[in-house]
Amino acid sequence: MTGRFSESTIPCIEAGKSLLNGTPKEYTMICLGIESTAHTFGAGICDDRGRMLANRRDTYKPKKGWGIVPMDARKHHEDVADKVLDGALEEAGKALDDIGILAFSRGPGLPPCLYAGLNFSVGLAKKLKKPLFGVNHCVAHIEIGRLTTKLKDPVTLYVSGANTQVIAHTGGRYRIFGETQDIGIGNALDKFGREADLSFPYGPEIEKRASGGRWLGMPYVVKGMDLSFSGIITEATKKLNEGDKLKDVCYSLQESMFAMVTEVIERALAHTGKSEVLLTGGVAANKRLAEMVGIMCRERGAKSAVVPWEYSGDNGAMIAWAGVLAHRSGQKPLGLKKASVLPRWRTDEVETRWI
Ligand code: AMP
Ligand code: MG
């Protein structure tokens, strides 16, 4: 146990109750989900009624001042995989033989990390002789959000380390209405955290430091429906080096970034006519972000909800649930001999026949 994000036991949602349509029913099958797109190796187990039975993970922690070194993260994932899986089975009170189907995060992500998940999942699927589904990591973040918040057809803000996208389901797919043109909000925050010599994980640390801060002025970059964050980080680092207080810089960069995404969500709501907003992904844990989006939604008569903390960052439970949805919708499992990863798989390329 090396820190808050390491080898954590994550509480189940409403143990014993299905969250699908609110109707507890006997399940017929359980799914094991494997997550490994970036820093986190996760194993989650859920049943086909949407009941979460286990969610275990172990997160690779880069050296101080460094970002993710993909090959080191891959080695981390390979080293912890068996232990994380055993933990998940124990938490669920299940044996390997109880698993009906398997799913893994096929992309998008860092190729070495994706291969760690692919190899582990294919090995297990062969051993158990069970079908394996390759699921889209971003869609899994949305679906665990819809399941746990009970929002039906939201505009989704998916904000994680690598991704920042405003998404809505139209014409049979999740469509991206706006996204970052450079780095994701989480990576931007992490980059500033390293520059400011804060400790990992940087996002929550910046959130803490921003409390009671003062507005210093910051770039605000919305281009059409797209966003850009790297200039804000350059400016924030410059202000810090010139002697501005850390709490004022943290406050100002959060205010600017979160106002930018709130503006784009508001326009996506207006365009689509939808009336719900879901916040999902690791950065969705930020209370100020939820507050800003909440205020905008109230002013428009829309509803907003945030994925519960235990399902906000990368996790195996969301992959298991996305696997159930893929299976239920009649998607074909992967052929194990030719199974591959899709490092650049976009949200709008995924067929979502379950909606
Ligand atoms: P994910 O890639 O979905 O696992 O999300 C990880 C990202 O979420 C990292 O970049 C973290 O810095 C960021 N993050 C986690 N908690 C918070 C928070 N409370 N505020 C802002 N960012 C956060
Ligand atoms: Mg993610």
How would DSSP label each residue in 162-197? S-EEEEEEETTEEEEEEEBSS--HHHHHHHHHHHTT
Substitution candidate for ligand 1 out of 58, 158, 283 with most atoms within 8 A of CB: 283
Mean pLDDT of 4-13: 33
Burial 210-243 (b: 16+ CB within 10 A, else e): beebeebebbebeeebbbbbbebbebbbebbeee
Tell how far the Cα of 187 is from the centroid of ligand 1, in angstroms.
8
pLDDT at residue number 122? 98
Residue 18 has pLDDT above 80, yes or no: no
Going by their DSSP bridges, the two strands 132-136 and 101-107 should be labelled as parallel
Average pLDDT over the chain, rounded to an integer: 92
Dump pLDDT digits (tens) for 268-324.
999 999 999 999 999 999 999 999 999 999 999 999 999 999 999 999 999 999 999
Query: Which pLDDT tens digit goes with each residue over 177-228?
Result: 999 999 999 999 999 999 999 987 899 999 999 999 999 999 999 999 999 9
Ligand 2 geometric centre to CA of 214 (Å): 31
Say how far apart CA 42 and CA 84 lie, in whole Å: 7
**Confidence band, pLDDT 50/70/90 cuts, at residue 12:** very low
Q: State which ligand 1 atom lies nearest to the alpha carbon of 184.
A: 10
Instruction: Determine the distance separating the centroid of ligand 1 and the alpha carbon of 313, expressed in angstroms.
Output: 7
Residues near ion ligand 2 (CB < 5 Å) are 160, 314
The alpha carbon of 200 and the centre of ligand 1 are apart by a number of angstroms equal to 10
Place of tokens 């299940």: 94
For ligand 1, which residues put their CB under 6 angstroms from it?
A: 38, 40, 160-161, 186-187, 189-190, 201-204, 207, 281-283, 285-286, 313-314
From CA 68, how far away is CA 186, in angstroms rounded? Answer: 13
| Ligand with the closest atom to the CA of 286 | 1
141: its two tokens: 């973040």
3-state secondary structure of 135: strand
Residue with tokens 């390329």: 349
Tell me, yes or no, if the pTM score tops 0.85.
yes
Copy the structure tokens of residue 249: 């810089």
